[in-house]
Structure 1
Amino acid sequence: MRPIGPNSASSACSRAMRASRSARSTVSSGHARRRSTPSVSAERAPRAAPHRSSGTVPALAGETAMRYHVYLEEDETGRCMAHVPDLAGCTATGPDRAAALAALPAAIRAYLRWCGEHGEPLPTDEPVEVAVAEVVRGCRPWRRGGAHALFSVDRAPLGDAELRAYLRRMSYARGDLLALVRGLSPHTLDASPPGLPSVRAVLAHLIETEAWYLSRLGQRIPAVYDGTDIVQRLVDSRARAVEVILRLSPRQRDLVYVPTENPSDNPEEGWTLRKVLRCCLEHELSHLQELQARFSDSLPERHELG
């Protein structure tokens, strides 16, 4: 991802992220060469109470609740993306807040069905209730190079059980993606429908973006698709990503990182491991849905995600 022009210093997204940057310590960039300035700086996240769910479905930590807390990010036009941290990767986007929230119940039910297909016995028939817990303005995660909100829930300590749940659901998404594209002919992989990238380009983008997300934490995995077997690259890149994530110490899991190398359009954007895992899932599920829709005429009916 290439950086684009920074946001105005007066944006709410910038102000919120700048407010979190006191008492920062240096984190290694992961480069073999020594640099005169670090590519990532970080601070210890506040020791907030662990995130608790609020819905009728068990959260990642296994807690039960009455309804879902929703976290919103909005750009200057009002376009809105709604996130459900209890259902990591579940999102809905709309031209405004009302549209995003209206689309969310269907997205939640689809997400629960998807988890059920992978052996997680989550109820899918319960009424869905949502409550807005936080709004961050001035971020544009749907744009290439756009900043992603660092929600308060992204700062919560990440324990082993939740980390395993994130990785498990990431494996569901990658497995579904591999099942969809494995065996496609080179012609199908490289065909570009009008106004859309080829399947190969989408898959390469997923590999490169996941590497970019991990670089927000000062970690490096191969990012550039070299033209080799794209399916094997999807397998290998995810294995490398999981290896890097599991190698992070408990202290590194609790840091808030502010990358200075290849930043988003907000150079003050903060990242945590929890935010990286959330974004990896959201991004992959979004493209999985896109590819499922593209092949819907030739595949058995599949549900849509977020």
Structure 2
Amino acid sequence: MQFYALIEEWPDECMAFFRELPGCYCSAPTYQEMVKAVPGAVADYLKWVKVVAKEGGAGPRFEADLAPPDDIEIDKALNVAATARAALLELYEQVSPERQRRRLAPDSWSLTEHMLHLLESEGWYVSRLSEQPIEPTIDANADIAMIFFDHAMDYELILRGLSPEQRSQVFTHDGAEWTAAKVLRRMTEHLREHYPWMVEIAKEVKQ
């Protein structure tokens, strides 16, 4: 199988995304290292998709992001996002409230801080498809699990309800271009990116 890679190069990181594989990404310090790691990342993603089936920052806007996603592509991306959220919530709720807020180091994030960041980020990504986006804010003392679920439902309705014009429109905010395809690509990747970090935190705080 061959997939078209969308590559973002940053000063200290190189990332690859695949529009055909929503939520699949590969990250490495250099382009050369990233290229070597891509086959394994794709294989891990496809393995993850099979397991799920059995069980049930602003980067560049690529030319591939201009093509408007159809209902099938949006549904596929949102299903990946929903599965990633379910895994995050299950992990989060396995830890006691006191330990959810525990940091492993002064400059690190707690599980709660990761969840708050994900909540704000999802709202931020979806708001990129508005002419005048409103920066999302989340109450740190709110019921994280409930808000995570409720907001996800709201975002799904917004993304599924995009008109043909909105799906193909290019929005520009702070010099960065956004399209519906780019939002789906970045949002799904971001949800999956945080999961392994949170797994390690959960292991440590449970001890």
Pairwise same-fold verdict (TM > 0.5): yes
Describe how 1:1-306 pairs up with structure 2 within 5 A: 56=1, 67-75=2-10, 77=11, 79-119=13-53, 141=57, 147-194=58-105, 195-218=107-130, 223-226=136-139, 227-259=141-173, 267-296=174-203
Query: How far off its partner does 1:296 sit?
Result: 4.6
Aligned counterparts of 1:206 and 1:100: Cα–Cα separation in 2: 25
For residue 72 of structure 1, give the secondary structure of its aligned residue in structure 2: strand
Aligned counterparts of 1:200 and 1:217: Cα–Cα separation in 2: 27
| 8 A contact 1:221–1:241 mirrored in 2 | no
Query: Could you give the per-residue CA deviations for residues 108-135 of structure 1, whole angstroms, max 9, x where no partner exists?
Result: 1111111112117xxxxxxxxxxxxxxx
| 8 A contact 2:102–2:111 mirrored in 1 | yes
For residue 87 of structure 1, give the secondary structure of its aligned residue in structure 2: coil
Query: Could you give the per-residue CA deviations for residues 31-86 of structure 1, whole angstroms, max 9, x where no partner exists?
Result: xxxxxxxxxxxxxxxxxxxxxxxxx2xxxxxxxxxx122121113x3631111222
Structure number with the higher helix fraction is 2
Letter paired with 1:111 = Y
Letter paired with 2:190 = H
Q: How many residues align?
A: 202
| 8 A contact 2:71–2:160 mirrored in 1 | no
| 8 A contact 1:221–1:237 mirrored in 2 | no
CA 184–296 in structure 1, closer or farther in 2 if over 3 Å, else same: closer
For residue 228 of structure 1, give the secondary structure of its aligned residue in structure 2: coil
Output the TM-score relative to the length of structure 1: 0.62
Aligned counterparts of 2:40 and 2:26: Cα–Cα separation in 1: 9
For residue 225 of structure 1, give the secondary structure of its aligned residue in structure 2: coil
| 8 A contact 1:71–1:84 mirrored in 2 | yes
CA 296–102 in structure 1, closer or farther in 2 if over 3 Å, else same: farther
Aligned counterparts of 2:90 and 2:74: Cα–Cα separation in 1: 24
- Specify the structure having the higher radius of gyration (Cα): 1
| 8 A contact 2:114–2:194 mirrored in 1 | yes
Output the TM-score relative to the length of structure 2: 0.89
Query: Could you give the per-residue CA deviations for residues 238-263 of structure 1, whole angstroms, max 9, x where no partner exists?
Result: 1111111122111111101112xxxx
**Consecutive unaligned residues in structure 1, runs of 5 or more:** 1-55, 57-66, 121-140, 142-146, 260-266, 300-306
